[in-house]
Structure 1
Amino acid sequence: MALIDHLDHLVLTCVDPDATKHFYTEVLQMQLETFRGDRIAFRFGNQKINLHVRGREFEPKAHLPAPGALDLCFIASVPLDQVIAHLHACGWPIVEGPVERTGATQKIRSVYVRDPDLNLIEISELID
């Protein structure tokens, strides 16, 4: 039995919280959540992304929190062609894809975009 079961949340450090909120709630359609008064998170499925603003991070924090340092892969809840159409409708550029990749449990088909801090965001569908 493995020690770790699943990811609960991760922390993203941003420069412009309004641009980041727009991307994660409008483009990626995650649910905005406020907790502990002024903390912001983006919820999807059973996970969430907590938001820190550079220079105003909450303690404890990563040793070197930096905007643009993440490379994340999300599995879409809809077919990838719908994701692509949604990205086009939002005017959000795809930087690569669709391409076939190897996911954590099986092959995936992915497109890549960048969030406002230039984090690399891979959006994928599972394939056989």
Structure 2
Amino acid sequence: MKIKRIDHIVLTVADIPRALRFYHEVFDMPIISQKQTDGCVRCGHQLIEFQTPTQPQSLTAAKPTSGSAAICIVAADPVENILNHLASYYIPLVAGPLKKEGAEGQMTAIYINDYDQNLVEIASYK
């Protein structure tokens, strides 16, 4: 088997409209689907789908729990612009900026939490 890429991930959140608003407003991710029972945003060539722990899903993780994910998204902006943008939304940093090795080499990482306490790493490559 030759894997090409990740198509989508599913984040478990407490409130889907609130999660959609956060990812759309803070990260400018276009909303693809917006319902009370599920939602989806586009992140580059991938999708981030949202579900709640109480949704009846036939195909889901064994124990979907709000706030249990850690994801890394890649920004095209310089680190200073990212920091200023997050400050304009009053989003506190969990950590960073930190130098790290990412999938594409040396990067600078900034960590925040979304409203459900999922850890979101924002990577900036040179």
Both proteins in one fold, TM over 0.5: yes
Normalising to structure 1: TM-score of the pair?
Answer: 0.89
Moved more, 41-50 or 58-67: 58-67
Residues in 2 aligned to 1:109 and 1:84: alpha-carbon distance in whole angstroms: 12
Aligned twin of 2:114: 115
Shift of 1:22: 2.1
Shift of 1:35: 7.4
**Percent same amino acid at aligned positions?**
30
Task: Confirm or deny: 8 A CA contact 2:16 2:38 kept in the other structure.
Answer: no
Aligned twin of 2:31: 32
Aligned twin of 1:82: 81
Residues in 2 aligned to 1:6 and 1:67: alpha-carbon distance in whole angstroms: 25
Residues in 1 aligned to 2:56 and 2:6: alpha-carbon distance in whole angstroms: 21
Residues in 2 aligned to 1:6 and 1:56: alpha-carbon distance in whole angstroms: 27
Aligned twin of 1:13: 12
Residues in 2 aligned to 1:93 and 1:19: alpha-carbon distance in whole angstroms: 18
Mark the runs of 5 or more structure 1 residues left unpaired by the alignment.
Answer: none
Residues in 2 aligned to 1:88 and 1:48: alpha-carbon distance in whole angstroms: 25
Shift of 1:58: 2.9
Aligned length: 126
Residues in 1 aligned to 2:8 and 2:86: alpha-carbon distance in whole angstroms: 24
Task: Confirm or deny: 8 A CA contact 2:106 2:125 kept in the other structure.
Answer: yes
Q: Secondary structure at the match of 1:18?
A: helix
Q: Which runs of 4+ in 1 moved over 2 A?
A: none
Shift of 1:19: 2.3
RMSD: 1.9
Residues in 1 aligned to 2:77 and 2:99: alpha-carbon distance in whole angstroms: 17
Residues in 2 aligned to 1:121 and 1:70: alpha-carbon distance in whole angstroms: 8
Find out whether 1:91 has 2:90 as its counterpart. yes
Moved more, 81-90 or 13-22: 13-22
Q: Secondary structure at the match of 1:125?
A: strand
Normalising to structure 2: TM-score of the pair?
Answer: 0.90
Instruction: After superposition, give the CA deviation of every residue in 1:48-93 in whole Å (9 maximum; x if it has no partner).
Output: 1011012015321111111111111111022222111110001111
Moved more, 26-35 or 67-76: 26-35
